[in-house]
Amino acid sequence: MMPELPKDMRLILAHKQSTSARVRFLCFAHGISAFEPLPPLSSFDEATPAPHVVHHPAVYLRAAQERLGLPDGSLKHEPEFVAYVVTPDELIAVCLAVFTSIDPPFAAAEAVGARFIAITEARNFSEVELDLLRHAYPVLV
């Protein structure tokens, strides 16, 4: 049984190749937010203030590792990035996590119906996801 994840948090999962610095994002059928899509009518404005109470991303990282079938320590939280997406019902925190393996875990991605993409392959994503990627990418390079 998969662990229940906080509904007010999502992750962007990325891999940065240590030798070439190539950055790839894990893309699901619905987009880049792990593991559920952002609700319709979501918007991102970097000036949105943080809520008073936010879940720590460690809970979400452990659950993400489990869903991907990866061992503990396979994902590392990137504390320089946090964004808040406004939805009709709530504020959703979006955190960035980086795979710690030398190569992207392609088999784990495929097992959950996902794949790794370069940021240039995201041009057909929703406006909110493109905005999130534009803010996450500089943190990784």
Confidence at 83, pLDDT banded by 50, 70, 90: very high
Q: Position of tokens 């041009």?
A: 123
Domain borders along the chain are 9-140
Report whether pLDDT(97) > 80: yes
Average pLDDT score over residue span 77-83: 94
Average pLDDT score over residue span 62-84: 94
Q: What is the pTM of this model?
A: 0.91
pLDDT at 59: 86
- The helix/strand count (H/E) of the chain reads as 3, 7
Which residues 6+ apart lie within 8 Å of 2 measured at CB? 63, 66, 67
Phi, psi values for residue 51, rounded to 5°? -70, 165
pLDDT at 67: 93
Q: What is the second-level CATH architecture of the domain 9-140?
A: Alpha-Beta Complex (3.90)
DSSP state of 124: T
